[in-house]
Every structure is written in structure tokens, then in C-alpha cells.
């Protein structure tokens, strides 16, 4: 049972990310997703982690090192909208946390145009059994523009190619984060038919 | 990964309903949920199944019998809004499928007032680790009134007592069904803290 957006993301990490997988954290932030992903994929797996704030990457590296992890990852000081310039292999998952760096400068946060470009590029990078998972913080300092623009984009994704499932905790106050999960529709269809 | 509302409901049945559980199907309809529930709870479990159309209960009984099931269930020819008159024990789950009987008379379908009363009574009947799961058909002959009234009710459920998670497949055409899952917030909180 899912209490909040964190438990939904944890479920996808635990159920669908395996030892040896190659994945990307599109928004390193405090580094907790990068660490969780690296712990899931293990020594034989690999995590790419992006941020436009060097401070976030320093925090992320510190968190990895404190957990005894010194390789099998790459911290990339660039916008996730340039993801395709840094990754040239298929990924099992791309993870987004939209909003601002916790405890950081609230004027620096993800923006609709670059976010949508990054999600679009993620869809080209994931393998057929892969997924893109996006935690959408909205309201407060994050505002609603990014959420609204992103949801509009996701609602219009080709339903023959993609399946978009939105998780919404509808009776919580203060705009709790939503989670959107994008998967490959054709893969799900074949799986349902027992062909995979 | 979830392709549609059916796969979400199947996940909850498979993960959280166990041998020996007592459960209710608030909308027998064609009987497929009653059968799935009975197969999950097994010989030692029990399924209450409601419908306001006798035809639905006949179909349901036929389906159960065809699968070798002849006891451990009760078919109740009454509105689910009278659920409390027929059940005097705690349930692990109450399952709703809102809309009309597939292949039946489309003028007879669940209605907002009785649905909300029934959901309210379900919340009193479920055990602390139990859940209410509602598949909401909307659009077409079902219209939007029931969905809108129900969502308004769910959004206003006391967030200290209940957790309401809405699953929405947002890029599908023709108003695909949504799924709402109501669980006990206090139970989830204690579980998260590792106290259960």
C-alpha cells in the first residue's frame, strides 16, 4: 500500500530496477535518488546523475562516498535537457524530481521547457521494458506552471507508443507531489498477452 | 507495470488479499470480481456479493459454480448502500465497479447517492489493514456525474484517518476507467515507521 509519492517511487525502484541495470537520475538534488539507484543496480550497474548546480553534485558525490561507493556512476554538470549528449546506451529507467534543491536556492528550479525536452529525450533512451518516473512537486515556491505544462505534454503522448499512469494522493492538503510513470505501451500489451 | 485499471485491481487482489480473508464485492455485475476474490480467499475465506439486479446474481452464481465453487460466499439481492445490514464482521477489502452491468440494461447503473453511502459504510467495515478499491467508469452511458460527486467526496475524506490514491491513465482516449484506493492512514504511518 502506498502512503505517499516516496513509497510509489520506492516500489518502482524495488520491483523493476535490477542488479546490472543502467539508469539515470535526471535531477541529482540532494543525491538520495542517485544513492538508491546505485544501491539497486549494484557494482555491475551504472548511474548517470545530472544537475545544473555544482553544489548538488558535490552533495551527491559525498553521499555516495559515505556509503562506500566510489565508482560505477557519473555525475554530470549539465542540464538534463542535454542528456543525449552524455549517454549513448539504453537505460532501464530515468528518474526526475521536479522542483528545487531541498535546502538550496529556491529561485533555481527545473523549468517547463527544459523538463519537457529532457523527458522527450529520456523516452528515446529507455529500453522497451524501461520506464521514466517523475515526481512532480507543485504549489508553494514551485508554482503550478511546470506541472500544468508537463501534464499537458504527457496527456498528449501517443497512446499507441506510451502508457502514462498518474498517481495522485487526492485527499492530502498542501498539494502533495504526484508521480507520473511512462512505460512502453507495446511492451505492456505483449506482456498482457503472455508473449513476454 | 500497470497497463490499465484491470491490472491495478489485479495487483491489489494478488498482493493484499490472502487465504482466509473476508471480503465484499459491492457490485457483482458479471461476477468476475466475485470469482477472483473467492479464488484469492480460498475455502477458508468468505465473499459477500451485492447487486440490485437478480440477473447479475444469477450470472455470478453460475460463474462460481462453473469454477467448482459452491460455498464460502453469499449473494445478496440488495443495494450495496445497505451493506451494514448484511455484514457484521470486519472485512479485508470492499470492491466496487461503478457503471452498469456489461451487456445489461444501460439505464440501470450505480448512482452517486447510493454509491457514496455504500463507500462510507465500507470504510466502517474494513479492518485497519484493509482497503476499499473502486473502479470508476465514466463518460459514455455512465456520464460524469457519478465520477465528479464521488471524487469530491473522496477528496474531502479526513486525511488523518484515510489515504486516497487515485490511479489515472492520462494519455488514453475515451475516458478509460480510473481506480481509487482508500486505506487507513494511521496504519500506513505506523507501517512506514516500522512499528508493524
Alpha helical stretches, state H, A126-172: 145-155
Nearest residue on chain A to B153, judged by CA atoms? A171
Q: What is the total count of domains within chain A?
A: 1
Burial class (CB in 10 A: 0-12, 13-18, 19+), A39: middle
**Residue B30's CATH number:** 3.40.50.150
B154 in reach of chain A (CB within 8 A): yes
Give me the residue from A1, A156, A183 closest to B183, CB to CB. Answer: A1
| Helix (H), strand (E) at residue B148 | helix B145-155
A193 in reach of chain B (CB within 8 A): no
Give me the residue from B3, B164, B168 closest to A171, CB to CB. Answer: B164
Task: Give tens-digit pLDDT for B26-72.
Answer: 999 999 999 999 999 999 999 999 999 999 999 999 999 999 999 99
Confidence of residue B23 (pLDDT cuts 50, 70, 90): very high
Task: Give tens-digit pLDDT for A60-89.
Answer: 999 999 999 999 999 999 999 999 999 999
Beta pairing, strands A73-77 & B73-77:
unpaired
Q: Beta partners for B24?
A: B48, B94
Q: Do A1 and B131 touch (CB under 8 A)?
A: yes
Residues B120/B161, Cβ–Cβ less than 8 Å: no
| Helix (H), strand (E) at residue A168 | strand A162-169
**Does the pTM of the predicted model rise above 0.80?**
yes
Shortest CA distance to B98 belongs to which of B51, B142, B54?
A: B142
Residues of A whose CB is below 8 A from B192: 3, 7
Whole-angstrom distance, CA of residue A171 vs CA of residue B95: 20
Whole-angstrom distance, CA of residue B165 vs CA of residue B182: 7
Q: Do A159 and B172 touch (CB under 8 A)?
A: yes
Residue B30 grid coordinates? 458479471
This complex has an ipTM of 0.94
A192 in reach of chain B (CB within 8 A): yes
Substitution target in A163, A169, A170, A186 with the highest count of B β-carbons within 10 Å is A170
A180-192 residues labelled b (16+ CB within 10 A) or e (exposed): bbbbbbebbeebe
Task: Give tens-digit pLDDT for A173-184.
Answer: 988 999 999 999
- Going A112 to A118 to A123 to A126, the CA torsion angle's sign is negative
Structural domain span for residue B37: 5-192
Amino acid at each position: 500500500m502506498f502512503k505517499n509519492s516516496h513509497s510509489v517511487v520506492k516500489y518502482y525502484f524495488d520491483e523493476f530496477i535490477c542488479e546490472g541495470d543502467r539508469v539515470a537520475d535526471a535531477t541529482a538534488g540532494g543525491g538520495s535518488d542517485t544513492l538508491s539507484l546505485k544501491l539497486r543496480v549494484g557494482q555491475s550497474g551504472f548511474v548517470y546523475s545530472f544537475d545544473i548546480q555544482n553544489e548538488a553534485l558535490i552533495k551527491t558525490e559525498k553521499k555516495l562516498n559515505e556509503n562506500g561507493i566510489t565508482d560505477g556512476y557519473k555525475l554530470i554538470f549539465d542540464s538534463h535537457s542535454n542528456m543525449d549528449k552524455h549517454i549513448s546506451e539504453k537505460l532501464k529507467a530515468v528518474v526526475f524530481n521536479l522542483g528545487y534543491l531541498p535546502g538550496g536556492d529556491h529561485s533555481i528550479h527545473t523549468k517547463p521547457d527544459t523538463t519537457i525536452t529532457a523527458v522527450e529525450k529520456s523516452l528515446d533512451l529507455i529500453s522497451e521494458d524501461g520506464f521514466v518516473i517523475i515526481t512532480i512537486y507543485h504549489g508553494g515556491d514551485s508554482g503550478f506552471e511546470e506541472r500544468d505544462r508537463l501534464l499537458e505534454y504527457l496527456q498528449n503522448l501517443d497512446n499507441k507508443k506510451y502508457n502514462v499512469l498518474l498517481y495522485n494522493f487526492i485527499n492530502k492538503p498542501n498539494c502533495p507531489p504526484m508521480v507520473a510513470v511512462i512505460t512502453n505501451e507495446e511492451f505492456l500489451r505483449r506482456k498482457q498477452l503472455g508473449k513476454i
